[in-house]
Structure formats: C-alpha cells, structure tokens
Structure 1
Amino acid sequence: MPRDHYLFSNGRLRRRQNTLWFERATGDRIPADDPDDTGAPSGSLVGEKAVLPVEAVDALHLFGEVDLNSKLVVFLAQQRVPVHVYDYYGNYAATLYPREYLLSGRLTVAQADHYLRPTKRLALARAFVGASLFNVRRTLLYHEKRAGDAGPIRDALAAVEREAARVPDEPAVPELMAAEGRARDAYYRAWPAVLGPATAAAFPYDGRTRRPPQNALNAAISFGNALCYAVCLKALYRTALDPTVSFLHEPGDRRYSLALDLAEVFKPLLVDRAIFRLLKTGRLRPKHFEPRLGGTYLTDAGRRRFVEAWDERLRRTVKHRGLGRHVSYERLVRLDAYRLVRHLTDPGDPYVGFRAWW
C-alpha cells in the first residue's frame, strides 16, 4: 500500500531505473536566509543510500536539503507522486504538483459556477465552517469529561455553539470567516485546561501568533497545520477538482486555496488531537523547540517526533458509518473531497463536510 515518506536528512534524491535512490550528505542545513549561504548544497555525499520503491510512495515530504534533477521530476510526475517541500523552519514552502491526470471539463465548469454564484458559494462556505466548528465542539466535549478543571472548556463550548448557531444566517463569506475566527479564539483559550496544569505550565498559551509563532504551542499548531494542508492538497490531486478554486478562502495567486477550505474541516481531528497527545504524553517537550529570528520553531528532532505521530494518526482507522468498513483517517479526507465532487455535479446531493462521531 503506497504511503507518504518524509526525508529529514540532507542529500540527493535521484532515479535509478524504476526506483528512487536517496544518498545522504553530511553537514547541517543552512537557513536560506543566512547571509553566508552560497546556494550550494550543504555538506558532502557520504555514499550511504536508502532505496524507495516508487510503487510504495504516495507522496514525498522534504524537510532536509535535498538535491533533485529534471529526470527525477519527470519520473515522479509520470508516477503521479506529489513532492511537498518545507523550509528550514518547517514551514510549508511549495509542492511539485504533477500534471493533472483526472480531468473533467464538466466538473471544472461546475466548480467555477459555484464560485461565481454568490448563493452557491455561500452555501459551500457555510458547510466548511459548520463542519469545522462541529469538529471543534466534538474535540472539546471529549476533553471536557477528562479535564480536572472543565470550567474553561465549558466556556469555550458555549462560545463555539453560539458561533455555530449563527453560521446558517451569516449573509456573506467574510462574516462566516469572522465567526469561525471568534470560535477558534475561544477554543484556543481552553487549551490550557485541555492540556492540564503541568503540561500547560510547560507550554503556555497567550494568544494565537503566526509568521513567526511566538511560543512552542503556536509553533506546534503552525507545523501541524502545514502538514494538514499538504494532506488535503494530495487528496484533491486524486480527484478532478481544481485546487485553486475555493469557496471559503478567496482564490488567489500562488496557492491552492481549496486545500485551505478542506483543511478547516480536518484540523480539529488531525492536528489538534495529535498535538494534545504529543504534549500530554511527553513525546514533545520544551527542549524540542528553539527560538529563531524573533519566533519559536520545532527543532529537527521535534519535527521528526511530530511527523512520526502524524503518520501514525493518518494510518489510524475508524469504522465508517456509511461504508460499513474501517477506513484510515487520511482516507476520510479523500472521501470528503469526493463528497464535494458529488455536490458540484449533482446539486441534489448537498455537501455538509465531514463530522466526527467519536
């Protein structure tokens, strides 16, 4: 079964016949914004190779400094393997997106039509926000029963439910995004109660900060959100949807905004719950974060630990109520993309967004 592979080491990735070969390099990575960076590869190749059969690779995530050549890029495109690239600090940077192979002019026209018609777009935007807040609420309810001090969690639940009740009546997309933002702020304020006194003391939360994240907890959230975006983008690639035409986030240049829409639905289930487990079990500790350039980021060891837990979470299965069989968490994302396809091509089958039942 193909799966995602994560490369943290520096080195060179190349094609050898129909196999991927990765040759590791010595030396530490150099930040791209380092004034002494010459653009040359960091370190030197040591001859140590790892073999990745291409049929076992669903996507590649490059966290190390990896050299590629055009032959490899062509080969990966032929094999329909997207490559997600992250910068020195673990921020999502880019994707080598293979040429689309699932083409549907009918779906492309329908997707554009739903964006251009305000009523249709608003209905989809409401579905994304409604599903996102539902999953936030499920996460809070799960931890309310287990928290020593459930008062802040109950306060957050009340705030999220107030905003969720407003979603069907919000008149425009900006108001929907504002409602979701207010609910998220209340949700994040409850995280110290979810984590418990000891963990919250080690990972204090004093507001959501980005670009750069100002503390360890914000760094974990930003890193997890980047991974979730990549998973959603891969799911969209396996459909005929155009990832640049979105409904909640405004389509723009140089980004796959539909992946942002889909990620809103799955962040509570995939990212937030993974962070809670990592911090509460001690797999991530303060030593796995470091200050850099006015912000805080995961160290290389911290990113490795996060990705290990992330991969475990994506492969976890749950019995699907509609299908009657077990499917992985990652498969749930693909199924939600398929539901969006059905809605766009058959308006009688409305998209409601994935809603966790556990």
Structure 2
Amino acid sequence: MQNVQNTLYVMTPNAYAHLDNTTVRIEVERETKLRVPLHHLSALVCFGNVLVSPALMHRLADEGKSLVLLDRSGRFKARLEGPVSGNILLRQAQFKAAGDRAATLETARALVAGKLRNSRSVLLRGARETTDADESASLSRAAEALAASLRAARDAADLEVLRGVEGEAARGYFAALNLIVKPQVRDCFALDGRTRRPPRDRFNALISFLYSMLMNDCRSAAESVGLDPQLGFLHAVRPGRAALALDLQEEFRSVLADRLALTLINRGQLSARDFDEREGGAVMLNDRGRRAVVAAWQERKQETVTHALLDTKVPLGLLPFIQARILARTLRGDMDCYLPYLAK
C-alpha cells in the first residue's frame, strides 16, 4: 500500500478495502495493514484482485472521491465517481471547439508541439551526459529529426497529417532511447520499438505501467476543472476512451514517465527479477516491480520544477492539473491559444 498526495494505492493481491466509521481500513487475510481517515483521501486506486466493500464505494461516490480499478499491470479498467460536476458553460465551450476544425487543429498542434519539444529535451540531455562520442552524435541527430518534425507539425494541414507527423517522430524517439540506457544494462532493457497490449520487453512493460498512472492523473486533472475527459482534440473520439486525458498526457510522457523509467533502469533500481515473462511473449512488472515503480512515481511527482508560464516552482505532480486549467482558460477565450508545458 502507498498513500501519497491524497491517493491511496492498494497493490496487495486479495486485499480488502472497507469502511470503518470514517476510516478506510485495508486488510490482508483478515489482518489490518493500514488505516487512513477518509477525509485525507481524494482517490482510491486498486491494482488487480482487490476487494472493495459496497459501503466504501457508496461513501466515496457521496463525497466526490474516485475509485479507480487497474489490472495487475496497471492498465485502466474502470472508474467509479459520483454525479458529474463542473461548469456546464466550460463543457459547452469544449464541445464547440471540438466541432470547429480550425480550433481543433490549432489545439492539437500545440499538444504535439509540447510532446515533441519535451521528447527532444530528453534526447539532448542524453547526448550531453553520455561519454561515448558516437552515441552522443546519434542522439543529437535524433533530436534534430524531432526539430524537423516540430516544423512539419506546425504546417500540418489537417489532423491526419498531424497524427502522421507525430507517429513518425515517436518511432524515431523510441529508437534513440536505447542509447540513453547504460551499456551494462542494455541487454536486459533493450527497447525494440514501442509495443503495447501486450508489451514485448521490459522497457515497454515499464513505460506502459507509468503511462497508465499518468493517464489516470490527466483524467483527474481534466475532471477537476470541469472538462469532459471523453472529448479530445488530438485523439479521435471513441466509446469508452478518455480522449482528452490522452491529449493532456502527450506533453508529459517523456518528462514524467520516460525520464523516470531511464532513472530506475540506469540506477539499478529495477532488474530482470522485477518482471515476469508470460506465455505468448508478453512481459509485465511483477508485484515487487510494481511496488518499486509506484513508490518512485510518487516521489518523482513531489519534485519541483519552474513552470515557465506561471514563473513559479510547482510539484511535478501538479503539472497535469495546471495544464488542464490553462486549456480551460483557452476554451473560455481568456487565452488566445493553448500553451503546453515545456521542460527545461
């Protein structure tokens, strides 16, 4: 169990979460492992086979706190929430903008620009830090390719072209990430392109898990300001898909998730024993690995950075909420265009 920043993560298989007056109690095999006052929590996140009592579900819904269910690998399964809240005028503005092709394209371009700029910063940092001149040159070339993709994204005539630019840039970016992994652990954490559902290697398993937690934070961020997380600009709308949360996630993938993955790998905080290989070639974090990653994720979110637009230091974990508020201001007409978060 991890209780950080008002979110309680329950990862122990067959744990039982239930209400004890005004306290959430977590039991494993009828032994109490944790007690948390309900008013200290904003969300309960359960991994895998965790039991939650109906009374606790009802109380969470009544108090506007979310219950999120993920599978053992961290993939989103379901979310329980109370009645929809937020500003109906903001959601009307969101739907109006999503129905305007020019406004949709402008917002999508900004989201992709944020993603490419931040991805480029990861590669440039890797180029500076490596002691191998050839690898530094390769990373610099990959970063320049992303700069070219940025220019192409700026000129994209429609969403399909923009998505194509973003997809091609992502392939080049993931191909270069291997060079940021320390040579002594590259065999263990080789990244053979981006694979999902299921991940085919340990690096993919790690970033997929991190992306799942990031997506949940971005969904919460969208909902916290009254936006509809289902209606996005860059990602196509599909039933059951939180398209806006996926949109917000793009600019944070590299600076929050990928950088943390590289840190965990290069510092030896994860190894082959933290992953299980399953029938059919799937690779997943095991229980020990998930615990280590969740703890590191929460620590990472408490680190502070300077937000250029606000000109103030903020915890990394608040960035999705800040950007959701900036998007809301843009949709209301308080800002001329959406400005993504750009890492230094």
State the one-letter code of the partner of 2:156: E
Q: Percent identity?
A: 31
1:53 matched to 2:37? The reply is yes
Structure 1 stretch displaced more, 56-65 or 133-142: 56-65
Partner residue of 1:79?
63
Q: Distance in 1 between matches of 2:300 and 2:283?
A: 25
CA shift, 1:347, in A, is: 6.0
Letter aligned with residue 270 of structure 2: L
Q: Confirm or deny: 8 A CA contact 1:246 1:261 kept in the other structure.
A: yes
Aligned-partner Cα distance in 2 for 1:92–1:338: 24
Trace 1:172-321 onto structure 2 (pairs within 5 A): 172-294=158-280, 295-321=282-308
Distance 1:122 1:322 in 2: 22
Where has structure 1 moved over 4 Å in runs of 4 or more? none
Match of 1:138 among 117, 121, 125: 121
Instruction: Work out the CA distance in 2 between the residues paired with 1:352 and 1:326.
Output: 17
Tell me, what secondary structure is at the counterpart of 2:77?
Answer: strand
8 A contact 1:243–1:257 mirrored in 2: yes
Alpha-carbon shift at residue 333 of structure 1 (Å):
1.1
- State yes or no: 1:331 paired with 2:321: no
2:53 to 49, 57, 69: 69
How many angstroms apart in 1 are the aligned matches of 2:320 and 2:89? 23
Contact 2:329 2:335 in 1 (8 A): no
Inter-partner Cα distance in structure 1 for 2:263 and 2:335? 40
Q: Residue 25 of structure 2 contacts residue 32 of structure 2 at CA under 8 Å; is this kept in 1?
A: no
More displaced, 52-61 or 179-188? 52-61
Query: Post-superposition shift, 1:2?
Result: 4.6
Looking at structure 2, the residues matched to 182 and 4 of structure 1 have their Cα atoms a distance apart, in angstroms, of 36
Superposed displacement of residue 324, structure 1? 4.4
**SS of match in other structure, 1:112:** helix
Question: Is the 8 Å Cα contact of residues 95 and 231 (structure 2) preserved in structure 1?
Answer: yes
Alignment TM-score, normalising by the size of structure 2: 0.93
Deviations 1:308-358 (CA, angstroms, capped at 9, x unpaired): 1101111111233444443111111101000000000016431121111x2
2:15 maps to 1:11: yes
Partner AA of 2:101 in structure 1 = P
Contact 1:23 1:50 in 2 (8 A): yes
CA deviation after TM superposition for structure 1 residue 264, in Å: 0.6
Q: C-alpha displacement at 1:238, in angstroms?
A: 1.0
Per-residue Cα deviation, 1:217-247 (whole angstroms, up to 9, x for no partner): 1111211111110110111121110111110
SS at match of 1:190: helix
Question: Alpha-carbon deviations, 1:168-216, whole Å to 9, x = none?
Answer: 1111112111111111111111112111211222211222111111111
Which residue of structure 2 lines up, in the alignment, with residue 155 of structure 1? 141
Query: In structure 1, what is the equivalent of residue 28 of structure 2?
Result: 24
Question: What is the Cα deviation at residue 64 of structure 1?
Answer: 4.1
Opposite residue 337 of structure 1, the aligned amino acid is: A
Deviates more, 1:316-325 or 1:145-154: 316-325
Q: CA RMSD in A?
A: 1.6
Query: How many residue pairs get matched?
Result: 336
Q: Distance in 1 between matches of 2:138 and 2:78?
A: 38
Alpha-carbon distance between aligned partners in 1 of 2:308 and 2:105, rounded to the nearest angstrom: 28
- 2:42 match: secondary structure: strand
Relative to structure 2, which stretch is displaced further, 241-250 or 173-182? 173-182
Q: How far apart, CA to CA, are the structure 1 residues paired with 2:5 and 2:120?
A: 33
